[in-house]
Amino acid sequence: MRAKLIDLNCDLGESFGAYELGLDSEVIKYITSANVACGFHASDPLVMSKTVEMCKADNVAVGGHPGFPDLMGFGRRNMDVSPKEAKAYVQYQTGAILAFCKANNTVLQHIKPHGALYNMAGKDIALALAICQGIREIDKDIILLGLSGSAMITAAEEMGLRVAKEVFADRGYEADGSLVKRGKPGAMITDEDEAIDRVIRMVKEGKVKAVTGEDIDIKADSVCVHGDGPKALEFVKKISKALTDSGIGLANIAEVIK
What are 116-170's pLDDT values in tens digits? 999 999 999 999 999 999 999 999 999 999 999 999 999 999 999 999 999 998 8
Domain that holds residue 129: 5-257
pLDDT band at 231; cut points 50, 70, 90? confident
What are 180-212's pLDDT values in tens digits? 998 899 999 989 999 999 999 999 999 999 999
Closest of 222, 87, 69 to residue 145, by C-alpha: 222
Q: Residue 103's domain is classified under what CATH number?
A: 3.20.20.370
Closest of 77, 12, 71, 62 to residue 39, by C-alpha: 71
Q: How far apart are CA 146 and CA 215, in angstroms?
A: 21
Angle formed at CA 55 by CA 122 and CA 202, multiple of 5 degrees: 40
Closest of 145, 152, 166 to residue 225, by C-alpha: 166
What are 96-114's pLDDT values in tens digits? 999 999 999 999 999 999 9
What is the mean predicted confidence (pLDDT) over 226-251?
Answer: 89
In total, how many domains does the chain have?
1
Residue 229: is its pLDDT beyond 80?
no
Number of helices and strands (H, E) in the chain? 9, 10
User: What residues have CB less than 8 Å from 93, skipping those under 6 apart?
Assistant: 38, 39, 40, 64, 66, 67
User: What residues have CB less than 8 Å from 245, skipping those under 6 apart?
Assistant: none
Percent of the chain residues topping a pLDDT of 90: 91
User: What residues have CB less than 8 Å from 238, skipping those under 6 apart?
Assistant: 192, 196
Residue 69: is its pLDDT beyond 90?
yes
Closest of 203, 199, 206, 202 to residue 238, by C-alpha: 199
**Strand 207-209 relative to strand 215-217, pairing:** antiparallel
